[in-house]
């Protein structure tokens, strides 16, 4: 790092389901990301960045707390065991703001920790639906029939989100940390933003076929996949335009020279590359390879091809603003790569569920716990990728020769496979050494006992025989 001031601002922009290969600068044939591309050409562009998980909650747990999802017995709560980078920034007198409307990024599960203002879907839902009305009932009914949630139209809108962020920028005290999460490329949250040539009936029918394919594990036809990609592209175009507006506002406020701007994604999305649409359950490239751009006022533009993990993002943010990372952060600053030190974290990504072995989710308690009997861990090193699975055959791919992971070499490259398996076993043992804290365990046991006692009361017969 050539120069470092204290108290620069940080703008973290995350986009749900945005795959690395959708960036035009990375060779995508359609020009869908002109603003993100420009930022990439002006900043540090990491071409081989990997999310730590293929779905939202564990991925953001890792991004914000620099820990692995399968640690602490798979308990993803940000309350007890994991410290968010936002809490550290708050402690360092940052003004902290979060705008996320993803239903899995709730205050209740600890994602609002450290924020002065954190607008999640619950708060917005209550603001826009103060009372339960007949209209809500009707919308619920129609949503159920159509398979798209009509209420999203009133809760989430990327244009509205951007306006809210720009309003915040107008009034922000410095230094600030602002996180804005765009949902649009995630299938059918923004069903009303459909590209030219589609109409709502065609969209709803496609949505229905997609839902059925997910449920029955059947395949969609080529035409449907092409349409899904076309719709996805149009949503990426819209988000990119919103990001352009946000950056424009930052520039109008003369904040560009004092702000570290980060753009990344929580995971990618599948379009049947491995027989599956959507994300979660698998650790293939289309689900883990994400964009990562860091535009900092103090570094010249650079393209970094070294594989990196988003577990290093929070340590990097703290390094950029001159704050020492806490010992609970396992990642390292990616700025080390600019000093020609390769000593950043190894690339491990994790999943803790299968179609049949689900995680435990209790929205009321705000707890999400991965299923430790459904562990999958992938390890990427020197162009190789090993996928360990508790429930399936292990896989090995040569990413240099086979970037789309079509040929499993697990039985052909036994030495590579054995070495990489050993690394994964070490990683599992490392994760296992971080157990859920005793305090958290006792607290949960008390809660469970209360629930059990309540249930007993309900089941007691009203009259004694
Ligand atoms: Zn997501």
**Residue 384 included in any domain:** no
Handedness of CA 21, 26, 28, 32 (dihedral sign): positive
Side by side, the strands of the sheet bearing 375-381 are: 347-352, 375-381, 384-389, 395-398
Q: How far apart are CA 168 and CA 166, in angstroms?
A: 5
Give residue 17 CA to ligand 1 midpoint distance, Å. Answer: 6
Give residue 416 CA to ligand 1 midpoint distance, Å. Answer: 32
Global confidence as pTM: 0.91
CA separation, residue 82 to residues 85, 109, 181, 369, 426 (Å): 10, 11, 21, 14, 21
As beta bridge partners, residue 262 has: 12, 294
Poorest-pLDDT segment among 41-45, 133-137, 300-304, 369-373: 133-137
Give residue 355 CA to ligand 1 midpoint distance, Å. Answer: 17
The pairing of strands 44-50 and 308-309 is parallel
Give residue 16 CA to ligand 1 midpoint distance, Å. Answer: 5
What CATH number is given to the structural domain containing 123? 3.40.720.10
**Residue 382 included in any domain:** no
Could you tell me the pLDDT band of residue 149, with boundaries at 50, 70 and 90?
A: confident
Residue 1: per-residue pLDDT: 47
Residue 459: per-residue pLDDT: 47
Give residue 57 CA to ligand 1 midpoint distance, Å. Answer: 7
Give residue 269 CA to ligand 1 midpoint distance, Å. Answer: 9
CA separation, residue 453 to residues 214, 305, 433, 443, 450 (Å): 38, 56, 33, 16, 5
For residue 457, pLDDT beyond 70:
no
Please indicate whether residue 166 or residue 125 has the higher confidence score (pLDDT).
166
Residue 79 CB partners (closer than 8 Å, separation 6+): 110, 113, 366, 440
Give residue 462 CA to ligand 1 midpoint distance, Å. Answer: 47
Q: Which tokens in the block code for residue 309? A: 């993990």
DSSP label at residue 150:
T
Give residue 1 CA to ligand 1 midpoint distance, Å. Answer: 32
The pairing of strands 375-381 and 367-369 is unpaired
For residue 352, pLDDT beyond 70:
yes
Give residue 113 CA to ligand 1 midpoint distance, Å. Answer: 19
For residue 154, pLDDT beyond 80:
no
Give residue 266 CA to ligand 1 midpoint distance, Å. Answer: 5
Task: Give residues whose Cβ lies within 5 Å of ion ligand 1.
Answer: 16, 56, 266
Residue 134: per-residue pLDDT: 76
Give residue 74 CA to ligand 1 midpoint distance, Å. Answer: 18
Give residue 393 CA to ligand 1 midpoint distance, Å. Answer: 26
**Residue 418 included in any domain:** no
For residue 348, pLDDT beyond 80:
yes
The count of residues in the chain is: 465
Residue 104: per-residue pLDDT: 87
Residue 15's H or E segment, with its range, is strand 9-15
Give residue 5 CA to ligand 1 midpoint distance, Å. Answer: 33
Mean per-residue pLDDT for 371-377?
Answer: 96
Poorest-pLDDT segment among 33-47, 404-418, 425-439: 425-439
- Please count the structural domains in the chain: 1
Residue 145: per-residue pLDDT: 77
Q: Which tokens in the block code for residue 77? A: 């709560």
Give residue 156 CA to ligand 1 midpoint distance, Å. Answer: 15
Q: How far apart are CA 296 and CA 82, in angstroms?
A: 27
CA separation, residue 25 to residues 97, 99, 232, 243 (Å): 30, 27, 18, 16
Evaluate whether 266 touches 59 at the Cβ level (below 8 Å).
yes
DSSP letter string, 248-314: HHHHHTT-GGGEEEEEEES---EESTTS-EESSS---HHHHEEEEEEE-TTS--EEE-S-EEGGGHH
Give residue 398 CA to ligand 1 midpoint distance, Å. Answer: 27
For residue 400, pLDDT beyond 60:
yes
Give residue 136 CA to ligand 1 midpoint distance, Å. Answer: 26
Q: DSSP alpha helices (H): ranges in 304-437?
A: 313-320, 414-432
For residue 261, pLDDT beyond 60:
yes
Q: How far apart are CA 352 and CA 374, in angstroms?
A: 5
Mean per-residue pLDDT for 318-331?
Answer: 94
Residue 441: per-residue pLDDT: 67
Mean per-residue pLDDT for 131-154?
Answer: 76
Q: What confidence tens digit (pLDDT) does each residue in 163-209 have?
A: 999 999 888 889 999 999 999 999 888 888 888 888 889 999 999 99
3-state secondary structure (DSSP) of residue 367: strand
Q: How far apart are CA 146 and CA 187, in angstroms?
A: 14
Give residue 37 CA to ligand 1 midpoint distance, Å. Answer: 21
**Residue 381 included in any domain:** no
Q: How far apart are CA 127 and CA 169, in angstroms?
A: 22
Average pLDDT, the chain: 90
For residue 148, pLDDT beyond 80:
no
**Residue 273 included in any domain:** yes
Q: What confidence tens digit (pLDDT) does each residue in 207-246 have?
A: 999 999 998 999 999 999 999 999 999 999 999 999 999 9
Give residue 267 CA to ligand 1 midpoint distance, Å. Answer: 6
Poorest-pLDDT segment among 104-113, 131-140, 161-170, 185-194: 131-140
Residue 192: per-residue pLDDT: 85
Q: How far apart are CA 262 and CA 15, in angstroms?
A: 11
Q: Given the structure tokens 């520039």, which residue do they identify?
A: 251
Per the structure, the complete domain to which residue 71 belongs is given by: 9-339
Mean per-residue pLDDT for 139-166?
Answer: 82
**Residue 392 included in any domain:** no
For residue 99, pLDDT beyond 90:
yes
Residue 231: per-residue pLDDT: 95
Could you tell me the pLDDT band of residue 78, with boundaries at 50, 70 and 90?
A: confident
Residue of 392, 398, 390 whose CA lies nearest to 374: 390
Residue 388's H or E segment, with its range, is strand 384-389
Residue 249: per-residue pLDDT: 96
Mean per-residue pLDDT for 83-88?
Answer: 96
**Residue 157 included in any domain:** yes
**Residue 59 included in any domain:** yes
Give residue 59 CA to ligand 1 midpoint distance, Å. Answer: 8
């Amino acid at each position: 790092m050539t120069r470092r001031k204290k108290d620069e601002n940080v703008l973290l922009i995350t986009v749900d389901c945005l795959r690395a290969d959708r960036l035009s600068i990375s060779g995508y044939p359609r020009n869908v990301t002109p603003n993100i591309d420009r930022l990439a050409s002006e900043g540090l562009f990491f071409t081989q960045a990997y999310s730590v998980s293929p779905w939202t909650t564990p991925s953001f747990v890792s991004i914000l707390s620099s820990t692995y999802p399968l640690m602490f017995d798979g308990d993803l709560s940000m309350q007890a065991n994991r410290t968010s980078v936002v809490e550290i920034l708050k402690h360092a007198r940052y003004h902290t703001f979060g705008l996320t409307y993803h239903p899995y990024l709730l205050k209740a599960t600890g994602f609002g920790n450290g924020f002065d203002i954190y607008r999640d879907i619950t708060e917005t839902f209550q603001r826009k639906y103060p009372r339960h009305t007949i209209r809500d009932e009707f919308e619920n009914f129609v949503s159920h029939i159509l398979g798209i949630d009509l209420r999203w139209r009133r809760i989430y809108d990327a244009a509205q989100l951007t306006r809210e962020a720009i309003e915040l920028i107008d009034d922000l005290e410095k230094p600030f940390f602002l996180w804005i999460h765009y949902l649009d490329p995630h299938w059918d949250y923004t069903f009303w933003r459909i590209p030219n040539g589609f109409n709502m009936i065609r969209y709803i029918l496609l949505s229905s076929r997609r839902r059925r394919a997910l449920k029955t594990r059947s395949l969609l036809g080529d035409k449907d996949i092409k349409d899904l990609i076309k719709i996805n592209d149009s949503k990426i175009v819209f988000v990119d335009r919103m990001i352009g507006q946000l950056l424009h506002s930052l520039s109008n406020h003369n904040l560009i020279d004092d702000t570290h701007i980060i753009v990344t994604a929580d995971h990618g999305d599948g379009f049947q590359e491995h027989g599956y649409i959507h994300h979660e359950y698998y650790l293939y490239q289309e689900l883990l390879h994400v964009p990562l751009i860091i535009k900092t006022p103090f570094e010249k533009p650079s393209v970094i091809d070294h594989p990196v993990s988003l577990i290093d993002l929070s340590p990097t943010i703290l390094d950029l603003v001159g704050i020492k990372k806490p010992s609970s952060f396992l990642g390292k600053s990616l700025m080390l790569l600019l000093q020609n030190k390769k000593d950043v974290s190894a690339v491990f990504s994790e999943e803790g569920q299968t179609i049949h072995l689900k995680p435990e989710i209790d929205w009321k308690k705000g707890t999400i716990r991965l299923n430790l009997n459904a562990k999958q861990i992938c390890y990427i090193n020197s162009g190789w990728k090993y996928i360990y699975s508790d429930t399936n055959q292990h896989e090995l791919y040569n990413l240099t020769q086979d970037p789309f992971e079509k040929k499993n070499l697990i039985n052909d490259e036994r030495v590579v496979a054995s070495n990489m398996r050993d690394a994964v076993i070490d990683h599992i043992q490392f994760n296992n050494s971080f157990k859920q804290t005793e305090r958290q365990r006792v607290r949960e046991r008390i809660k469970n006992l209360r629930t059990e006692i309540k249930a007993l009361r309900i089941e007691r017969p009203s009259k004694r025989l």
